[in-house]
Amino acid sequence: MQVEGFRYRSGVKKTHVKDFYFYKAKREKYSARSVYKLKNIQEKYKLISRGNRVLDLGASPGSWTEYLVELIGKTGLLVALDERDLSITAKAKIKKRGCDFLFFQQSIFEPLPKKLAALQFDCVVSDLAPLTSGPKLVDSARSLELVNRAFDIAQAQLKVGGHFVVKLFQSPDSVETAKSWEKAFKLAKLYKPPSTHKESKEIYFVGRHLLP
């Protein structure tokens, strides 16, 4: 396994691991290795089908978006939101697939555009993650703000019976937060996809069948 050092925008040095999934994503022409986390989730829970309407929060650079357009096919609708733009690869793949697609480049904390707020979705997925600052307490507080906002959006925009997937960084607070969401769904689980780095604290809350 090759380990490379790089710097986040804040200047804090982190390690970036080029592992099996990194090279697999390169070979399969996805914008990021994170696609395999959503693939693991979809293979296990079968949340998304052809023709579905899906909302993708924290979509950039766009590997989930690329996979989602494969899943929903030409008859589906995908809406993606991120404060950063999608990659050129993602834009090209979306265009090629030909499904209805909307992208909103804005912060999740801004009010949702009217066009988005008027829609109801079969599935809301969130891979939102804050830029890492270094101090763990600051990062986990930022992450909790993001996941709580994602949950509020999911509750407002999901159809009854719809599904919600959201990335959490494991901590006593995030696990408590996820527990408080359980009652909103018929089935709820915390799941660590096998493609997640072993040392990573990332975990996904999967809520299936939103209750009325």
Residues acting as catalytic residues? 167
Site string for ligand SAM, 140-179 (x = CB under 6 A): ------x---------------------------------
Single out the residue of 84, 115, 186, 197 in contact with ligand SAM (rule: CB under 6 A): 84
Residue written as token pair 């804005």: 106
Nearer to ligand SAM, 2 or 107 (CB): 107
Query: CB–CB of 140/173 below 8 Å?
Result: yes
Chain length of the chain: 212
Q: Give the shortest CB-211-to-ligand SAM separation in angstroms.
A: 27
Q: Are strands 100-105 and 121-126 parallel, antiparallel or unpaired?
A: unpaired
The answer to the question of residue 60 lying near ligand SAM (CB under 6 A) is yes
The answer to the question of residue 72 lying near ligand SAM (CB under 6 A) is no
Cβ-in-10-Å burial (0-12, 13-18, 19+) of 123 comes to buried
Query: CB–CB of 109/148 below 8 Å?
Result: no
Q: Which residues bind ligand SAM (CB under 6 A)?
A: 31-32, 34-35, 58-64, 82-84, 107-109, 127-130, 146
